[in-house]
A and B are shown apart, each in its own frame.
Chain A
Amino acid sequence: MFRIVEEAIDVGALVTGAFRPDCGAVATFIGTTRVDESSGAHVEYLEYEAYRPMADRKLEEIGAEIRDHWEVGHVSIVHRLGRVDPGEPSVVIVVASPRRGPAFETSRYAIERIKEIVPIWKREVWSDGYVWVGSQVGTRSPA
């Protein structure tokens, strides 16, 4: 299941949804909002936007790449948009495979590919301005 959502992600349901009798391993990667600090300021929250439906299709492509190269029984990727507060998940990847190797490898592969090809952008909103991650464009004064 590949989805882009605007509300909180139900991580428990995603994980249990991957349980299958033909798979003995489920690996999960969860990206959450981290509060960085610099120059006496701190990150208050992250805000994500996407180019849809291209972003939805790119998530599905990553799923297809995984199925083409590894033996997996289930792949789910859910990415959240909008404001994501500290400690909350922005992305959840769940892979089930018969044995643990492909589950670990592909959950890593999926997050790296998201950061390469999926048109989603993250804005760090700091206590003293904001920064578009990757472009370093924003309103924070240079450190």
Chain B
Amino acid sequence: MHGVRVLLFGAAADRAGVRQTEVPVNGSVTIGELWPVITDRHPGLAPMRDTLAFAVNGEYARMEDEVSPGDEVAVLPPVSGG
């Protein structure tokens, strides 16, 4: 595994046009650093930035948290269960 697996949900999957993508990274990067790489490939996501939350390996994460190859990053629009 040479990249980070990025999962997209709900409106983010809609805007990106994919539900899953692999982003190559060299060593550790923060989510903040990963985000422009994702939006380069899926520009439709860019306007959603301020509404999104992120999770790393199934737990909420902050923009300054680091991810490494093999990690799973989830792009989470505002939740709307219930």
Contacts and interface: CB of A to CB of B under 8 A. Distances in A.
For the side of the interface on B, what is the size category? 20 to 34
B40 interface: no
23 contacts: A48-B81, A51-B9, A51-B55, A54-B59, A54-B74, A57-B58, A79-B82, A115-B82, A119-B79, A121-B11, A132-B14, A133-B80, A134-B10, A134-B78, A134-B79, A134-B80, A135-B10, A135-B48, A135-B51, A135-B77, A137-B11, A137-B14, A138-B11
Given A134-B10, A138-B14, 16 more contacts: A51-B55, A51-B76, A54-B58, A54-B59, A111-B82, A114-B81, A114-B82, A115-B80, A119-B74, A120-B82, A121-B10, A121-B77, A121-B80, A122-B82, A135-B78, A137-B48
A88 interface: no
